[in-house]
Structure 1
Amino acid sequence: MSTKTSLRPPGPKGRLLVGNTVEYDRDRMGFLRRTSAEYGDVFSFDSRTIVVFEPDLVHELLARTNGDFSSESSAVATRFDAERSAEDAELWMAARRAGWRGLNRATAQAHAIRLGALFERTIEETLGQPVDVLAMMKSFSGRATADFCLGPDAGGMPEVIAENTAAIEPLSGSSQLFPAWLPSKRIARFRRARDHTLDSITARIRRRAAEPAPAEARDLLDVLLAVPGLSELQVQRLIRGILLAAFGVPAAAMTWTVWTLTTRPDLWDRVATEASQWDGASVPPLSALPQTEAVVKEVLRLWPPTWLMGRIALRPTTLGQWALQPEDQVMFSPYLIHRDPRWWTDPDEMHPERWLDPAMTPRRHSYLPFGAGPRVCVGTQLGMLQLTLATFWLARNYQVSAPAAARSGPEFHNLLVPTGFTASFQRSS
């Protein structure tokens, strides 16, 4: 391929005025598959958006985030300000680096112990009754992440985040972004929910800051407040970002895990056998659960909740041979990269052995359920901890009945979720 810079990659012209939006919203995954098959690994969606499926180019895009590209996103249309975006990124990254350096094994272990009680409480609330699994797992992940971030001040926060997320979904479910000033009930609801979330987090930060510092950090908020020079705004933004990101994504991943285990009894038996070998005296480290962790990784490969990601160009730049202007968008789909037969053997098949056999190591840059680069999902390690332990507790302590699971197909909306997946949970005998 020539290395000469070209203006734009080829792509479908679409319809007058609306371009490709109608066709895309009608069948998002079908549109991406068809267009990629016709135009290749890089194509234009419209005059300001390109779509990339080549793993090395995606990795380059992610690695250059905060420099040439921004990960900023919004549920409403706002004027993009490259300078402000760069400043916001630095605030976020400084808080993130400080927070993660301050976390220690004792803090993580304390959260893991509380996590088990939260998982049991969530399951026991509907024991023996048919339940929407995604809704149940949203309840669990909301409680779990609020506990990780806010510990003793987590009360009420999952409900606040649930409302914030519910207000975002109708706006982000369309390819069209509407301006924040539009007189719309949906936008007014979004603004109220956003402001309530910020006020709720700020109140908890100030209440905690007024208390004597504990001898040992109990949660992320304790860690952040102990960092010299970290502003209230930085703490607020980091905690809000984690709470919002960790509400839906882990819930969708855990829902797919339950779906996988109920449709693959052999995998359930494999995970349950491993779980039964733990003595139960404490929470196991992930190193003691290789089979369980491999199943979780394979679920995230086949069903990455964030199935579509993107970046915005901050300045005139290039990606591969393609020229980009400020505010141009670059989109990519982990789902399609994860299922590309060029990078994966039997890409549509569930093979947890991929993660246990060194000879099956995936192609570099072809696995990115959490993104990559400097803005890799801040909850990557937390998410793997929560998902693996929840799967361990599920197989160890419960039985699941989901006779209609096979009829639950994937829905490519804001998140990738199984449609209409219901199940009932019982204590193991």
Structure 2
Amino acid sequence: MTSTGVRPPGPAGRWLVGNTIDYDRDRMGFLRRCHDEYGDVFSFDEHTIVVRDPDLVHDLFARTNDDFSSESSAVATGFDARRSADDAQVWMSARRSGWRGLNRAAATAHTTRLGALFERTLAEAGDRPVDVLELMKSYSGRAAADFCLGADADGVPEVVAENAAAIEPLSGSSQLFPEWFPSRKIKRFRLARKATLDAITERIHRRRSAPAPDEPRDLLDVLLAARDPELTELQVQRLLRGILLAAYGVPAASMTWLVRTLATRPDLWERVAAESAAWDGEDQPPLSALPQAEAVVKEVLRLWPPTWLMGRTAIRPTSLGRWALEPGDQVMFSPYLLHRDPRWWPDADVLDPDRWLANRTPRKHSYLPFGAGPRVCVGTQLGVVQLTLGAFWLTRGYRVSAPGADRSAPEFHNLLVPKGFRAAFSRA
């Protein structure tokens, strides 16, 4: 469709601060009200539009790295289209080499170790009520470090946890400040970022100084063995840091919603537990043996996608649908709203795992828990495996007590999480 050159309608906002205050007071409520009033596309401000049309979101994903950038930062940086394009090339080259070389043996070994990490994490919680999100952050941080670094993972989850904690108050604000700004939060962010990169670099050098293994044992082995092209140290550093950070919070939020769902729905717990008990193999079961667990996982990701708000930045003058965009303009969209839109989903707000078991194919482009296109989440497949096996381990070996779970309302902050959700885990 030809661009009109006209901005979509949107709320006028307040003097000087625009819509920031109203948005921060109730983020999801603000987005819902604006979509109800202005339609599937509205202007948040003069440089930002928000869309809720599946086809426009798909177009945005498909043109990422070409017309749009997916890069984001916890601090304010001037938009540089050439730098953005170069950064995208570095990232894509590294991830292509990594996933192309990651063999089944390394992935299977990681999955096998996951079970021990899960048990270790829950054992540390004891039988007392704990903050489930913080517990699952500990688990997902260990899992990500194991996947990326294998035997060299010791100490890395703690460094990544500090890096993530330093990012949270910055990226959770609607107003970003430059890196030179005299702020304790920004200083903490700089130090935490350096510590993470130093930890990764130390392990790269250690690995390069040792004889290369016959077969890759983890992602770092794969990246260092890559040829055509060979990856630079910078590429390896950035890919590993990106994965370690992404795999810290998002899977933890997903696991927290999964635990809450199973704890508050005894019928689903029983279905998944019966399936888990039926597995008598020595190895971890494949997803094909866990259809009930996988269906619950998919429905949890539909109703509560941790990355509830995503965005892209225009690299060059372009358009989206009939709306013109200039370099630096942002396009935002909410998977949460797409996943709960009654136009695309019957009984959209109802938790119904059977919709996946019955192969009721959703409307095309309306289910995006991991994004799509060339910058789709690199851990999509691994994430589904980890969550499904998490449901398997949980219902097979534990009991969960969470009497106040229904009061843990969704919180739309950096990630979508059930606020204040606490539970106790005991051996079955």
TM-score by length of 2: 0.98
Task: Name the structure 1 match of 2:256.
Answer: 255
Provide the secondary structure at the position in 1 that maps to 2:125: coil
Output the amino acid matched with 2:367: Y
Task: Name the structure 2 match of 1:205.
Answer: 204
1:273-292 map, 5 Å? 273-292=274-293
Contact persistence 2:302–2:367 (CA under 8 A): yes
Task: Name the structure 2 match of 1:179.
Answer: 178
Whole-angstrom distance in 1 between the partners of 2:215 and 2:375:
28
Task: Name the structure 2 match of 1:426.
Answer: 426
Provide the secondary structure at the position in 2 that maps to 1:284: coil
Q: Is the counterpart of residue 130 in structure 1 residue 132 in structure 2?
A: no
Output the amino acid matched with 1:283: Q
Shift of 1:378: 1.0
| CA RMSD in angstroms, aligned pairs only | 0.8
Output the amino acid matched with 1:402: A
Task: Name the structure 2 match of 1:143.
Answer: 142
Task: Name the structure 1 match of 2:319.
Answer: 318
Whole-angstrom distance in 2 between the partners of 1:65 and 1:4:
19
Output the amino acid matched with 1:81: D
- Deviation sequence 1:214-269 (CA, Å, 0-9, x none): 11211001111111211111111111100000100000000000000011110000
Sequence identity percentage: 74
Whole-angstrom distance in 1 between the partners of 2:354 and 2:96:
33
Whole-angstrom distance in 1 between the partners of 2:86 and 2:105:
33
Structure 2: which 5+ runs fail to align?
Answer: none
Equivalent residue pairs, number: 426
Output the amino acid matched with 2:35: S
Shift of 1:127: 2.1
Whole-angstrom distance in 2 between the partners of 1:107 and 1:391:
22
- Deviation sequence 1:32-88 (CA, Å, 0-9, x none): 000000000000000000000000000000110000000010000011111011011
Output the amino acid matched with 2:200: I
Whole-angstrom distance in 2 between the partners of 1:150 and 1:78:
31
Provide the secondary structure at the position in 2 that maps to 1:125: helix
Task: Name the structure 2 match of 1:57.
Answer: 56
Task: Name the structure 2 match of 1:195.
Answer: 194
- Deviation sequence 1:187-222 (CA, Å, 0-9, x none): 000000011111111111111111111112110011
Structure 1: which 5+ runs fail to align?
Answer: none
Provide the secondary structure at the position in 1 that maps to 2:274: helix
Output the amino acid matched with 1:80: F
Whole-angstrom distance in 2 between the partners of 1:195 and 1:320:
41
Task: Name the structure 1 match of 2:118.
Answer: 119
Whole-angstrom distance in 2 between the partners of 1:49 and 1:182:
24
Whole-angstrom distance in 1 between the partners of 2:91 and 2:178:
25
- Deviation sequence 1:126-161 (CA, Å, 0-9, x none): 221111000000000000010000000000000000
Task: Name the structure 1 match of 2:106.
Answer: 107
Provide the secondary structure at the position in 2 that maps to 1:346: coil
Output the amino acid matched with 1:112: T
1:20-419 map, 5 Å? 20-228=19-227, 229-358=230-359, 360-419=360-419
Shift of 1:3: 4.9
Output the amino acid matched with 1:212: P
Provide the secondary structure at the position in 1 that maps to 2:182: coil
Q: Which runs of 4+ in 1 moved over 6 A?
A: none
